[in-house]
Amino acid sequence: MVVRAYNEELAYLEKKSPYKWEIKKGFQPNMRVEGVFYVNKFLEKLMLEELQNACRPGMIGGFLPGVKQIANVAALPGIVHKSIGLPDVHSGYGFAIGNMAAFDMDDPQSIVSPGGVGFDINCGVRLLRTNLFEKDVQPIKEQLAQSMFDHIPVGVGSKGIIPMNANDLEEALEMGMDWSLREGYAWAEDKEHCEENGRMLNADSSKVSMRARKRGLPQLGTLGAGNHYAEIQVVDEVYDKWAAKKMGIENVGQVCVMIHSGSRGFGHQVATDALLEMEKAMARDKIEVNDRQLACARINSNEGQNYLKAMSAAANFAWVNRSSMTFLARQAFAKQFKLTPDDLDMHVIYDVSHNIAKMEQHYIDGKPKHLLVHRKGSTRAFPPYHPLIPVDYQLTGQPVLIGGTMGTCSYVLTGTEQGMNETFGSTCHGAGRALSRAKSRRNIDYNDVLEKLQKQGIAIRVASPKLVMEEAPESYKNVTDVVDTCHEAGISKKTVKLRPIAVIKG
C-alpha cells in the first residue's frame, strides 16, 4: 500500500455529484479503471474518516479502508467500466462489502475472486407477504415469534428439522430450488419470484469438498447467526403505489415476513477451499494484485472454473435453505392462525442474492459484452423490461430487498435504467457495518440492546443474547441514509418501507 498523507490522498478523490465520488487512477498502484462510490453527506463522513484513520502513522493491521479496497479491485485483471462502491460499503476480506465489479469474459486474463463474492455465498433476503394486518398480529405477536423460533432453528451450530441424507444434499446442490419444489417444500410461484429462478445451472457438486458437505448437511433449513434473521414486519410507508400493488402490497399496516440467510458453513467452506487453491494458481499464472486477500484465478483456468461450479452449488444450497425456512415460516403462521398458508396468501414477493458472481450480458460503450459480475454485499437491481426478471415485475423493475439491522426498518426498492447503465444493475444490500464486531462488543451492553427493542414494542427471540450487541443498530450505518442515497443517485427507486414487530435471531 502506498503511504501518503491524508491530504495527498484526497487529491485522488473527486466529488462528481452530491451522491457520487470518483477515485482516480493512481490512488492505488496499477489501477486499470477508475473507482466510484455512492454516498450522501453522512455516509461520506464515515468513508473519509475511515481513510483518515488509516493514514495515521503506525496504523497497520486489520482490513484496509473501504476506499482503498475499491481502488485495489480496480487494479484486477480484466475489470471493465468501474470498480463500484455502493452506499453501504465497508471493509471486508479483499473486496469491501458493498463493492461490485465486472470482468470481461472474453478477455483471457480476466479473473474470478472468492473475495469478490464473500464467505457467505448467496447470502440473500426473501420477503413473503400475507393478507394479515398489524391489528391481526399485534395481540399474538409474542406467540407468533415463539412459534417461528420453534420452527426455524437459529444460532451457531444449529441443526435443521427437515430430514436430509447425503444423497438429498447431493441432489439439492445440483437442483437448487427445484429440489425444494420436487419434495414439496416450495410453491411453483416461489420459483417464479426468485432471482435466477432459484437454481444456478452450472453447479457441480463434484467440485465441492467433503468437508463442506459435512458442514452443510445438518445445517440446511437453519437461519445461522451473525446478521441473519427472520422478522415479522409491517408495511410502514408506500412510496410507489403501483409498484407495491404489483408486489401484492396493498396498504400500510400489511404484514410481511423477511428471511435473511445464506449458505451457512457450506458456503464458508467452499470459499475457504477455493482461496487455498487460488494462491497456487496466482503464482503459476503470475497474476499480480495489490492485496494478498484478493486471491483470484483466471476465469478460464481450472481453479477458476472449479470455484464457479462449487460456488453455484453453494448458491443452490442457500436457495434450498431459504425455501426450507419459508416452508417452516408458513407452517408457523398456519398453526397460529389456524388457516392454510394459501389462505394467508403467503406468497414470496421476491428473493435476492447479495453475495454472488454471475455471468450476465451488459452494454459497454454501446456494445453487448459477456461479463462475470461480482456482487459482494450488493444486490442485483434490473430495470423494467429486463428479460431476466419475472413477468409480474416487467413494468416496475426488479424488486430489491434491503434488510435493515435488528430493530430498524427494511426497504423494498426497484431497479432502474440508470442503475443498469451506471452500476451494472446493482444497488446496496443493507445497512453496512459502521463498527467492527469487536468494537461493538466492547462499546455496547447487550442488556441495553434488548431493553431498547422491548421499548420499541418489538418481540425478540435470540439464541445467543450475548452476541446481540454485535448486531445492534448502533454498530451499523443508518439504513435509511443508505437507501436514500441509492434513490437520490438514481440507481434504484424506493417502493416500500417496512418496520419489524418481531425478530428471530441467532
Grid cell in block for residue 217: 448437511
Q: CA-CA distance, 254 to 248, in Å (whole number)? A: 10
Q: Least distance to another protein from the beta carbon of 237, Å?
A: 19
Type and span of the H or E element at 356: strand 355-364
User: Of 349, 327, 341, which is closest to residue 399 (Cα–Cα)?
Assistant: 349
Q: Least distance to another protein from the beta carbon of 192, Å?
A: 6
Q: Least distance to another protein from the beta carbon of 103, Å?
A: 26
229 is in an annotated binding site: yes
Report the phi/psi class of residue 377: left, alpha or beta, with left for phi > 0 and alpha for psi in -120 to 50.
Answer: left
For cell 410507489, what's the residue?
240
227 is in an annotated binding site: yes
The nearer residue to another protein, 157 or 253, going by C-beta atoms, is 157
Q: Least distance to another protein from the beta carbon of 262, Å?
A: 15
The nearer residue to another protein, 170 or 204, going by C-beta atoms, is 170
Beta strands 79-90 and 35-38 are parallel
Q: CA-CA distance, 321 to 85, in Å (whole number)? A: 28
CB under 8 Å, gap of 24 or more: what pairs does 450-459 form?
452/407, 453/406, 453/407, 453/503, 456/407, 457/501, 458/407, 458/500, 458/501, 458/502, 458/503, 459/141, 459/142, 459/144, 459/145, 459/501, 459/502, 459/503
The nearer residue to another protein, 347 or 429, going by C-beta atoms, is 347
The nearer residue to another protein, 188 or 210, going by C-beta atoms, is 188
Q: Least distance to another protein from the beta carbon of 224, Å?
A: 8
User: Of 164, 130, 134, 117, which is closest to residue 358 (Cα–Cα)?
Assistant: 117
Active site residue 81: no
Grid cell in block for residue 201: 445451472
228-256 core/surface letters (b: 16 or more CB in 10 A; e: else): bbbbbbbbbebbbeebbebbbbeeeebbb
123 is in an annotated binding site: yes
268 is in an annotated binding site: no
Cα dihedral 172/178/181/186 (nearest 10): 90
Which residue in the list 90, 151, 193, 429 is annotated as catalytic? 429
355 is in an annotated binding site: yes
Q: Is the dihedral of CA 288, 290, 294, 299 positive or negative?
A: negative
404 is in an annotated binding site: yes
Q: Least distance to another protein from the beta carbon of 88, Å?
A: 26
431 is in an annotated binding site: yes
- Report phi then psi at 263, rounded to 5: -100, 15
Type and span of the H or E element at 46: helix 41-55
Q: Least distance to another protein from the beta carbon of 188, Å?
A: 4
Residues near 441 by Cβ (< 8 Å), separated by ≥ 6? Answer: 469, 470
The nearer residue to another protein, 38 or 149, going by C-beta atoms, is 149
Q: Evaluate whether 89 touches 99 at the Cβ level (below 8 Å).
A: yes
Contact residues for another protein (CB under 8 A)? 153-163, 181-185, 188-189, 191-192, 218, 225, 242, 245-246, 327-328, 331, 383-385, 390-392, 394-395, 417, 463-464, 506
The nearer residue to another protein, 51 or 156, going by C-beta atoms, is 156
The nearer residue to another protein, 269 or 478, going by C-beta atoms, is 269
210 is in an annotated binding site: no
Binding residues for Mn(2+): 120, 123, 228, 260, 354
Binding residues for GMP: 227-231, 354-355, 403-406, 410, 429-432, 505
Q: Hey, which residues are catalytic here? A: 429
Binding residues: 120, 123, 227-231, 260, 354-355, 403-406, 410, 429-432, 505
